[in-house]
Structure 1
């Protein structure tokens, strides 16, 4: 099992709109790919950054599913994020493997 984490720092004045968009549009689109078995959205409460920091996490059963998402869906979904929140957010990703 793999955990795909997307950490986003969003400007304060865009945070509410971004959060609603994530919950109503983006996360459902990611899950509709069928390549992740679950997801969660977290808010970082002790972030040292300006703005609001969130982590969207998606669980993939295996590397093939994660790579299929990256190859077939991630570019278009990332373009949509950039279109809707250009110059209002910065994101970075990490991929983690479950050990225990």
Structure 2
């Protein structure tokens, strides 16, 4: 069975980055508390934007496709609205759904 990743990429001015990261410490646990994801990973996109903006990616690993659909249909609007009410247009986000086809690991002794 393949994994489903719900990826949220957020772009913002460096002036809101600190406040946004602090807020994410509350937001990510709220998403996970829906019981529809196994884990989440918050990452910084290392490619520098020409305008100096900061970009982050949050990857939520869904239990399965049905769980992601339930999250989108029952929870995502409310949780997105919280972020928009706090940051407005100062944080631009887009979402992608990813299917993990295979995973490879290197064993280091």
What TM-score, normalized by structure 2, do the two folds share? 0.87
Matched, 1:48 2:34: no
**Residue 30 of structure 2 aligns with which residue?**
29
Unaligned stretches of 5+ residues in structure 1:
none
Matched, 1:83 2:81: no
Q: Residue 46 of structure 1 aligns to a residue in which SS?
A: coil
What TM-score, normalized by structure 1, do the two folds share? 0.95
State how far apart, in whole Å, the 1-side matches of 2:63 and 2:48 are: 29
**Residue 68 of structure 2 aligns with which residue?**
66
Matched length: 99
Unaligned stretches of 5+ residues in structure 2:
103-109
State how far apart, in whole Å, the 2-side matches of 1:43 and 1:49 are: 16
Query: Segments of 4+ in structure 1 off by > 6 A?
Result: none
State how far apart, in whole Å, the 2-side matches of 1:49 and 1:69 are: 34
